[in-house]
Amino acid sequence: MNIDVPKNNDSGILHRLFELAHKRGIKIYSDFDLGENIFGLCVNFDGIKRIGLSSRLSLHAAIYVLSHELGHCQLHAAKVNYALYHKRDNYYDSIEQQADRFAAKLIKVLSRSKSPNEY
């Protein structure tokens, strides 16, 4: 899915994403080497949601990946069947498409908002 990330206020949007995660009790870890084809991940460990972000992301890409992973945290963190997910079938496609749609809506809202209190 191609998502339009506004380029004129990227650092402000990324900052608001970090604030949103913090308000939701989601811990974010950046600067990870997640491998060549993994840009982010969301895990729920001991009841604490965590997002890992690849160290190879540009600012623009980090906005999309963090928004996408926040979608997983919001929609799937307690529900994902990891055995089915790793088969890369319809289950995988459905979960990834849901997180993409969540990211697109979140980025759209944050690009219009003036304050973190608006979301």
Instruction: Please write the tens of the pLDDT for every residue from 90-114.
Output: 877 888 899 999 999 999 999 886 5
Q: Quick one: residue 47, left, alpha or beta (phi over 0 = left, psi -120 to 50 = alpha)?
A: left
The amino acid that residue 82 corresponds to is Y
Given a cut of 70, whether residue 118 has pLDDT beyond it is: no
Residue 44 lies in a domain: yes
Averaged pLDDT of the chain: 81
90-112 and 10-23 helices, crossing angle to 10°: 110
Domain range for 52 is 10-111
Residue 118 included in any domain? no
Mean pLDDT lowest for which of 19-23, 41-45, 76-80?
Answer: 76-80
Structural domain includes residue 119 = no
What confidence tens digit (pLDDT) does each residue in 62-88 have?
999 999 999 999 988 777 666 666 676
Tell me, what's the pLDDT at 46? Answer: 83
Instruction: Tell me how many domains the chain contains.
Output: 1
> Is residue 2 in a domain?
no
53 CB-near residues (< 8 Å, 6+ apart)? 28, 29, 30, 31, 32, 39, 40, 62, 65, 66, 69
Q: What does pTM read for this prediction?
A: 0.81
CATH number of the domain enclosing 100: 1.10.10
Percent of the chain with pLDDT over 70: 77
Q: Is residue 59 part of a domain?
A: yes
